[in-house]
């Protein structure tokens, strides 16, 4: 009987400890937050994708993924995403991003033809979650953990910088074990 009670107590202690560890690890993460403000003139231009979470619309991309941003006359942002497929073909997608906050760090992006962009639920979130002061590396995601990209002005970044951006993503609750590094 004494052994049974000890086993039950050990099980309870283990269960409580596991629960506390789970609560503690979740307490360390927080919902993704866009930076307060970006300088759009510094942000526009060409970015290389360093890594991304798997997603449907990039299923054909195998390497050389880039994003080119510009400012349109109506203050929307032009988007040209390009990549190389496994067969070596370069493909691209043209879209437009609409600023959703005064700091231009939260955008809604659509890749639909211009005449269909009015449709509800056809724009994806594009939040700049972190950007270095020199606008050389950026972490982009959204209000949930569905999409994530690490972008750089250079085709490669050093491991310390990469790990630092991974840590930021982890703190926002992203499962960085699923990130795919992009060959450039």
Three-point CA angle 156, 160, 166, nearest 5°:
85
Three-point CA angle 127, 39, 107, nearest 5°:
25
Element (H, E) at 52: strand 45-52
> Are the CB atoms for 63 and 183 separated by under 8 Å?
yes
Structure tokens at 153: 């002005």
DSSP state of 183: P
- pLDDT digits 0-9 by tens, 18-28: 434 444 444 47
pLDDT reported for residue 5 = 46
How distant, in Å, are the alpha carbons of 77, 83, 121 from that of 66? Answer: 16, 6, 25
- pLDDT digits 0-9 by tens, 33-60: 999 999 999 999 999 999 999 999 999 9
- pLDDT digits 0-9 by tens, 111-142: 988 888 878 778 999 999 999 999 999 999 99
């Amino acid at each position: 009987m004494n052994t049974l009670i000890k086993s039950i107590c050990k099980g309870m202690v283990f269960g409580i400890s596991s629960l506390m560890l789970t609560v503690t690890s979740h307490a360390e993460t927080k919902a993704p937050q866009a930076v307060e403000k970006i300088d759009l003139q510094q942000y526009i231009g060409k970015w290389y994708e360093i890594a991304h979470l798997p997603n449907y619309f990039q299923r054909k991309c195998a390497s050389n993924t880039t994003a080119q941003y510009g400012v349109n006359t109506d203050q929307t942002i032009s988007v040209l995403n390009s990549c190389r497929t496994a067969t070596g073909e370069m493909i691209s997608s043209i879209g437009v991003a609409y600023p959703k906050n005064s700091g231009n760090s939260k955008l809604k992006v659509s890749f639909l033809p211009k005449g269909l962009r009015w449709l509800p639920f056809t724009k994806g979130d594009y939040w700049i979650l972190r950007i270095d002061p020199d606008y050389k590396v950026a972490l982009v995601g959204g209000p949930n953990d569905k999409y994530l990209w690490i972008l750089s002005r250079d085709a490669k970044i050093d491991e310390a910088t990469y790990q630092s951006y991974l840590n930021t993503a982890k703190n926002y609750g992203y499962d960085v074990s699923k990130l795919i590094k992009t060959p450039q």
